[in-house]
């Protein structure tokens, strides 16, 4: 039994690595940031997701932004990180500020059903997680 429990403990201690983006655009009302709604968690958050094998943090961040928003963006400055436990495992998410290059037109899906472009003030009120609000401040 000992080897099996060690394997389970190792899996529980394995850090989940994810990349995400604070995607900015200039609009007629000023600077706006993208936040998404995930129906499975009923939360408002920045686009983010787990790294694929062989992928860098930056590549994952750009891929996840495109997958979840249908927007192409370019990396700008490093925005910071959030560390927390998710389903009993440690998770580290590294975020970058990103500049919108092309908006491909958002289509709601199972994973993400809404995309909002908001002012910083409005996003601070709508984001579900304190760690993400802190990144935006």
Please report, for the domain that includes residue 23, its CATH number: 3.90.79.10
| Domain total of the chain | 1
6 in any annotated domain: no
Is residue 33 situated within a structural domain? yes
Q: Give tens-digit pLDDT for 3-42.
A: 555 555 556 669 999 999 999 999 999 999 999 999 999 9
Q: Which long-range contacts does 126-133 make (Cβ < 8 Å, 24+ apart)?
A: 126/35, 126/44, 127/35, 127/44, 127/45, 127/46, 128/43, 128/44, 128/45, 129/43, 129/45, 129/82, 131/82, 131/84, 132/45, 132/46, 132/82
Residue 123 covered by a domain: yes
Mean pLDDT computed over every residue of the chain = 93
> Whole domain around residue 22: which residue ranges?
15-136
- Asked, for residue 10, whether it belongs to a domain, the answer is no
The model's pTM: 0.89
Tens-place pLDDT, residues 46-95 = 999 999 999 999 999 999 999 999 999 999 999 999 999 999 999 999 99
The reply to whether 9 falls in a domain is no
pLDDT in tens, 106-117: 999 999 999 999
């Amino acid at each position: 039994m000992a080897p099996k429990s060690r394997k389970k403990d190792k899996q529980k201690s394995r850090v989940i690595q994810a990349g995400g983006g604070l995607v900015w655009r200039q609009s007629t009302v000023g600077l706006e940031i993208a936040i998404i709604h995930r129906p499975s968690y009923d939360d408002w958050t920045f686009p983010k997701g787990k790294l694929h094998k062989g992928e860098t943090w930056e590549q994952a961040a750009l891929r996840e932004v495109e997958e979840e928003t249908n927007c192409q963006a370019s990396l700008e400055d490093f925005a910071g990180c959030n560390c927390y436990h998710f389903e009993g495992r440690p998770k580290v998410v590294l975020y970058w500020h990103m500049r919108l290059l092309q908006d491909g037109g958002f289509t709601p899906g199972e994973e993400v059903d809404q995309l909002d472009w908001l002012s910083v003030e409005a996003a601070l009120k709508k984001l579900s997680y304190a760690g993400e609000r802190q990144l935006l401040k």
